Structure 1
Amino acid sequence: MSSVSALAQRLAVVAGFENPQVSLEQYRTPPELAARLVHDADLQGDIDGRFVIDLGTGTGMLALAAALRGPTGVVGIDIDPDPLSTARDNEGRVGTVADISWLRADATDAPLDTGERTTVVMNPPFGAQDRNEHADRAFLATAARLGDVSYSVHNAGSRAFVESFAADNEGTVTRKFRAELDLPPQFEFHAEDSHTVETEIFRIEWD
């Protein structure tokens, strides 16, 4: 198993969004964050030999990270066709071996039933935009339906919400750790050169 830093280096070539949509909170997941999430998942036995679904895959960062760790297959789902096209190009750049399918669909209503042990990974919208509050709730609900375990990125301070949601949906938070999400300026309202968001990553087992 390669190290977190080695995995992040493999992912450094992954291109981001050409025309990001603010309403969908489209940001490139940093390679370092994706590598840490997937490395931790692999250490828990949740990647190698399992099927992996990346909800709201964007340009494919988490899906590609998982594909480098021996899954039986990977599906990246996104509602926007443009980043999915970039994700296909990124697949060639990264040089993965595992089979990856890129599916255009609403990640919160994904038409999937894998029929095998499935891990869901996701960096869902945080609900920072108007009329998008609690957007991550629908992603968690989909994770509960599709997988027996999930890893998801949330704003720091989301512990009570995530644990409560999991408990209400026959799930249990078994691991949690902090990570930084470095966001470049890509929308007109961004005044700073870059912005660091404190996040938490949660592992949930779903019954």
Structure 2
Amino acid sequence: MGSKRALAERLHGLAGFRAPQLEFEQYPTPPDLAAHLVHLADLQGDITDRTVLDLGTGTGLLALAAACRSPNHVLGLERDPSALAVARENERSVDPARSVDWLLGDATRPPLCPCPDAPVTTLMNPPFGARTGSEGADRAFLERAAELSTVSYSIHNAGSQQFVEAFAADEGGEVTHAFRAEFEVPRLYGHHDSDRTEINVELFRIVWA
């Protein structure tokens, strides 16, 4: 297992969204945060020899970070073809040990079937649902994680812990790890008034029944 720092270095400098779509809440996962999440998953035994699914992969950072470790299979699912093209370019830059299968599709209605006999780890940076009219957007991602995986790691807006724990319990799952982090947001949209800002987020590991 490589170090978290070395993993983060491999992810720095990758291409971001060329035409980000606000309706999808497209924000690139910060490299350091992606490395931290995947390093934690690897320490927990949730990457090596497992299938790793990145729901709403965007430009591919979580999928590529996982592919730099020792998974059996990595799948990145994304509904935006422009973002998926960037993810493929980023894979060529990272050149991970395990190739990623990139799939065009809606993460909230994935063209995938549960694999009851195969351990699946889901990684995701879902829409936070922070915009008016998109409240609860991350719920649909959690529903798919509960359906498709044995364990998931997800990034949510600050203040989500009560909701995530209640949702997991309702689905027979359990939040085993929860911690806060900072998420760096670059200037992407017209309403942004600074080049970069940091928002508080919460990360969760959930074991699903």
- Give the TM-score normalised by structure 2: 0.97
- 1:122 paired residue among 121, 124, 142: 124
Deviation at 1:170, TM superposition (A): 1.1
Partner of 1:77: 77
Aligned CA-pair RMSD: 0.9
Structure 1 runs not aligned, ≥5 long: none
User: Identity of aligned pairs, percent?
Assistant: 55
**Rounded Cα–Cα distance in structure 2 between residues aligned with 1:99 and 1:2:** 17
Partner of 1:178: 180
Partner of 2:102: 102
Q: Judge conservation of contact 2:60–2:87 (CA < 8 Å) in 1.
A: yes
Deviation at 1:157, TM superposition (A): 1.3
Structure 2 runs not aligned, ≥5 long: none
Partner of 2:9: 9
What does the per-residue CA deviation read over 1:43-85, in whole Å, with 9 as the maximum and x for residues that have no partner? 0000011000000000100000000011001110111100001
Matched, 1:139 2:141: yes
Deviation at 1:114, TM superposition (A): 5.8
Shift >6 Å, 4+ stretches:
none
**Rounded Cα–Cα distance in structure 2 between residues aligned with 1:28 and 1:192:** 16
Q: 1:167 to 1:146 in 2, by over 3 A?
A: same
How many residues are treated as equivalent by the alignment?
207
Deviation at 1:139, TM superposition (A): 0.2
- Give the TM-score normalised by structure 1: 0.98
Task: Report which stretch shifted further, 1-10 or 112-121.
Answer: 112-121
**Rounded Cα–Cα distance in structure 2 between residues aligned with 1:72 and 1:196:** 34
Partner of 2:168: 166
Deviation at 1:13, TM superposition (A): 3.1
Task: Report which stretch shifted further, 135-144 or 191-200.
Answer: 191-200
Partner of 1:19: 19
